[in-house]
Structure 1
Amino acid sequence: MVEFGSYPLIIAGCLIILLSFLFSKLAYKTNIPSVLMLIGLGVLIQYGLKLIHVHEINFFPILEVIGIIGLIMIVLEAALELELKKEKTELIVKSLLIATFGLVVSLFAASAIIHYSIPDMDWLTSLLYATPLSILSSAIIIPSVGKLGEEKKEFHVYESTFSDIIGIMIFYFMLNLIEYQNPDPLLNSVVMHPTFSFFISTGVSLIVAFLASYLLLYIFQFINDGARLFLLISLLILLYAVGKILHLSPLIIILVFGVVVQNNELFYRGFLRKYLHQEKFETLKRELHFITRESAFVVRTFFFVIFGASILISSIFSFRVLEVSLLLLFSIYGIRWLFLRVFMGSDIFPQLWIAPRGLITVLLYYAIPPEYGSEAFDSGILLFIIIATSLIMTFGLIGTAKIQDIPLIINPIVDEDKLYDANGNSEKESSED
């Protein structure tokens, strides 16, 4: 068995961070998502390990922990970008409707495809597996839409954030539903119906979210020590973990906290205004933006590299994987086209192509308990969808960039002939007279 020393691991970690930084610069220039490059780097590491006869490493515990922290940081990063202003109400509502309807309809379409294409998959299990495949990846979208116009960029930030949170809530609702229909015979206690528990947990999560946000922000305005940001992030992660154990919807806590920070003028009104020290608050908000962006970058880097090192790349070349994946892709973009047309009219490019699956898809897939999972579902479908949707987004963004780079050519002769004076004569004739 090959053992790695501390220093080689440190060197490897630093090189991965360096390469990730270079990938992000390359992604900005080429519109190729850095996520694909990170997964590719992970695959290369996997084959490199095989060359030195290291064939089996259990990456899942590391992947799960990094994925959860990454999810928290990415949602917080996205929430800190959400500005709740009156003039943006229409954009926010459209983003919410498209994210919700697109997610739900895609979920049922994907579950039907999985149910009828894969033997021995009942409807509930199909819905469970379809949920991760129906959620947009804010981890991929937000860093990729920087070159778009301000309105389209904000639309994708709102939409992907809503899709993340609603998708995760639906996933755990489906898990609760399966547990409710398959009760543990050793437990004689009465279990609440998942529908009631869903609304109760959502309501309690919102109450806890606002109370925790006001309390944390009030306290941290008066903490000036250098370690306060990591302390604040640690407390948010603690709230998330405790909320998950208590079967709440802890991502709502993270989302509400970020939205309150970004839109403090809206949430600190009336008697609450005296608890807001504007100068200290602005400093805290600026520092939070910085720390979440940097942390999300590091966590996202290691998550996708480890994912690439742990996947079986040959699984995507199966005919069954290809068949199911192509049907899923057609449903994803067909449904997306429909709702974008309904809510946004004809201006739906490149929004149509920006529907990648990523971190949350992987995280939720691995969160399916073995007793509720199915060996008939090939993980190659997951990998195929992630790669295919990222490539489609890449070509969509590149195509849009090329169109925007086409210069507008104005015919000077035509313009000159259209210049007339007050008497109806052309300016050219007037000058000659």
Structure 2
Amino acid sequence: MDIFSSYNLIIEASVILILSFWFNGLSRKTNIPSVLMLIVLGIVLQYVAKAFVDQLPDLFPALEVLGIVGLIMIVLEASLELELRKDKIWVLLKSMAIALMGLGLSAWIAALILHSLIPEMSIPQAWVYATPLSILSSAIIIPSVTRLREEKREFHIYESTFSDIAGIILFYFLIGQLNPEEGTGVAGFAGSILLTIVIAIIASYVIILIFQGIKSQAKQFLLIAVLLLLYAIGKKFHLSSLIIILIFGLVIANMKLFFAGPLKKYLKEDRAKQIYKELHIITLESAFVVRTFFFVVFGITIILSSLLSIRVLLISILILTSIYGIRFVLLRTFYGKDIFPQLFIAPRGLITVLLFYAIPEEAKVAAFDQGILLFIIIGTSVIMTWAMIRSRKKPATGEVIDLEITNQVVEEEE
């Protein structure tokens, strides 16, 4: 039986998407992240496939492309939901501070752990390996926190988005420093980021002005194609391309803010709003499809036997402990005692996998076991699952107050 024939692949892909949709519904009822279910589905499919074929095909190229497109869609989806209002500034700044400090401290401690327990790994190499392990996964967090209170949900969207972008910037900066010929230093790298921001702002205005004049109904995928093109070209010129996607999303989601004053006359508000609504729907749907196949394919590539090493367990547990220890200190400092379930919502996922595969040959260390990557991804996802289930059973403070007021009103009426 050829399980990879054209019609079989169509059947398999369709069943996976149907199951993913069902997983989303199950996730809303149980608070178990749908991404974790997709990874488990991938692992099951791996063993089912091995019963029919001797060797699975190399799925890395597909995983890489799915990951890049998924990352773009997820960041665009998140940025389209970010409102830049005065009453949101404090939440935004706190989220950014926690994301940046959490990333930096987690990477530093993880690098020390890796360097100490893997002697073959130098400090610069340890930093390269530690950075992907320190980045929050917006691909897992954003669809998983929809049932949290608004302020907590917004915090997680801001934090995970900032963590994604800052983590990718830090990773490629570290890679550049390993190669003296390509390294530009801190000043050069900061200049590259500033140049990316300027290009992103100009490109955002140009895209909106052009697309609001296009009368054709089939223009949303054209817009996505333009964004993908800008991202890929930016990567070719070693720019922080994800910033382009983030800024475009912010500009079109907050068009009144960016087209204020003299620029207001150039904005066709009705058409621009229509572009925003249609783009939001298509981005949401596309992110769902790409995320589904990425995590299923990732599950298919997982080697469970790599989790049985004592050194893998020791390193992974130490890194997990440092992740939640640092997170506890930061959340208590900025948010006081109300830090549940935020403390345990720190999964690693899509970007972590993508960046590990992007480590260049000169930075790779043969002694590093891929089981560490797998253990931390699964471990953080399971911990998050436990916290989300606990938070579902535990009513929020506001809900308790509302219940007390309702009971008091009923008693007075009686």
**TM-score normalised to structure 1 length:** 0.91
SS in 2 for 1:404: coil
Q: CA deviation at 1:341?
A: 0.9
Q: Residue 143 of structure 2 corresponds to which residue in structure 1?
A: 143
> What is the CA-CA distance between 1:391 and the residue it aligns to?
1.0
Cα distance, 1:49 vs. partner? Answer: 1.6
Residue 62 of structure 2 corresponds to 62
- AA in 2 matched with 1:337: F
Gap change, CA 1:410 and 1:157, over 3 Å in 2: closer
- Following superposition, the deviation at residue 281 of structure 1 comes to 1.1
Name the SS of the counterpart of 2:95 in structure 1: helix
Distance 2:183 2:40 in 1: 45
1:16 paired with 2:7, answer no
User: Where in structure 2 are the equivalents of 1:363-374 lying within 5 Å?
Assistant: 363-374=354-365
What are the residue-to-residue correspondences of 1:142-291 with 2, within 5 Å?
142-180=142-180, 183=181, 193-291=184-282
Residue 13 of structure 1 and its aligned partner are, at CA, apart by 0.7
The 1-side partners of 2:360 and 2:46 are apart by: 26
Query: What is the CA–CA distance in structure 2 between the aligned matches of 1:73 and 1:410, rounded to whole Å?
Result: 43
One-letter amino acid matched to 2:236: I
1:3 Cα offset (Å):
6.9
Secondary structure of the residue aligned to 2:394 is: helix
Question: Which amino acid counterpart does residue 369 of structure 2 have in structure 1?
Answer: D
Q: CA deviation at 1:225?
A: 1.8
Change (3 A) 1:153 1:3: closer
Match in the other structure for 1:294? 285
Cα separation, 2, equivalents of 1:86 and 1:54: 59
Q: Which residue of structure 1 lines up, in the alignment, with residue 35 of structure 2?
A: 35
- AA aligned to 1:206 is I
Give, in whole Å, the separation in 1 of the partners of 2:265 and 2:282: 27
Residue of structure 1 in register with 2:113 after alignment = 113
Code of the residue aligned with 1:358 in structure 2: it is: G
User: Residue 18 of structure 1 aligns to which amino acid in structure 2?
Assistant: I
Q: CA deviation at 1:192?
A: 5.4
Aligned-residue offset at 1:194:
2.8
Answer with 229-238 or 389-398: which moved more: 389-398
> Which AA in structure 2 matches 1:53?
V
Letter matched to residue 7 of structure 2:
Y
Query: Which one of 287, 295, 300 corresponds to residue 304 of structure 1?
Result: 295
Alpha-carbon distance in 2 for matches of 1:166, 1:88: 20
In structure 1, distance between residues paired with 2:332 and 2:70: 33
- Cα deviation, residue 227, structure 1: 2.2
1:213-250 deviation digits (Å, cap 9, x = unpaired)? 00001111121323200000000000000000000010
Letter in 1 for 2:166: I
Alignment match, 1:396: 387
1:348 aligns with 2:339: yes
Counterpart-to-counterpart distance in 2, 1:274 and 1:410: 51
Q: Deviation at 1:399?
A: 1.1
AA aligned opposite 1:14: S
Per-residue Cα deviation, 1:238-295 (whole angstroms, up to 9, x for no partner):
0000000000010000000000011111111111111111111111111111011000
1:422 corresponds to which residue?
none
The 3 A distance-change label for structure 1 pair 16 and 411 is closer
Mapped to 2, the partners of 1:225 and 1:194 lie a distance apart of: 46
- Tell me, yes or no, if structure 1 residue 358 matches structure 2 residue 349: yes
Q: Which stretch of structure 1 is more off in the superposition, 364-373 or 94-103? A: 364-373
Aligned length, in residue pairs: 408
Q: 1:319, CA displacement in angstroms? A: 1.1
* Partner of residue 314, structure 1: 305
Match of 1:331 in 2: 322
Please say which of residues 400-409 and 73-82 is displaced more in the overlay.
400-409
Secondary structure of the structure 2 residue equivalent to 1:347 = coil
Q: Which amino acid aligns with 2:235?
A: K
Distance of 2:263 and 2:351 partners within structure 1:
36
Offset at 1:371?
2.8
8 Å CA contact 1:103–1:135 kept in 2: the answer is: yes
For residues 410 and 346 of structure 1, the distance between their equivalents in structure 2, rounded to whole angstroms, comes to 22
Question: Contact 1:31 / 1:394 at 8 angstroms: preserved in 2?
Answer: yes
Contact 2:49 2:56 survives alignment (8 Å): no
CA distance in 2, matches of 1:311, 1:192: 34
Q: Write out per-residue CA displacement over residues 79-116 of structure 1, whole angstroms, 9 at most, x where no aligned residue.
A: 01111100111101100000000110001001111111
In the alignment, is the contact (CA less than 8 A) between 1:2 and 1:54 conserved in 2?
A: no
**Offset of residue 74 of structure 1:** 0.4
CA distance, structure 1, for counterparts of residue 42 and residue 4 of structure 2: 17
Aligned-residue CA RMSD (Å): 2.1
Aligned-pair CA distance for 1:375:
1.3
Could you tell me how far apart the structure 1 residues matched to 2:394 and 2:19 are? Answer: 30
User: Is the 2:3–2:52 contact (alpha carbons within 8 Å) kept by the matching residues of 1?
Assistant: no
User: How far apart are the structure 1 equivalents of 2:76 and 2:158?
Assistant: 12
Aligned-residue sequence identity (percent) comes to 55
Give the C-alpha shift of residue 395 in structure 1.
Answer: 1.0
Dislocated runs of 4+, deviation >4 Å: 405-413
Give, in angstroms, the shift of residue 370 of structure 1. Answer: 2.4
Residues 291-332 of structure 1: CA deviation (Å, up to 9, x unaligned): 110000000000001111112111112111111110011000
The TM-score with structure 2 as length reference comes to: 0.95
Gaps of 5+ in 2: none
**2-side partners of 1:56 and 1:118: how far apart?**
31
The structure with the larger Rg is: 1
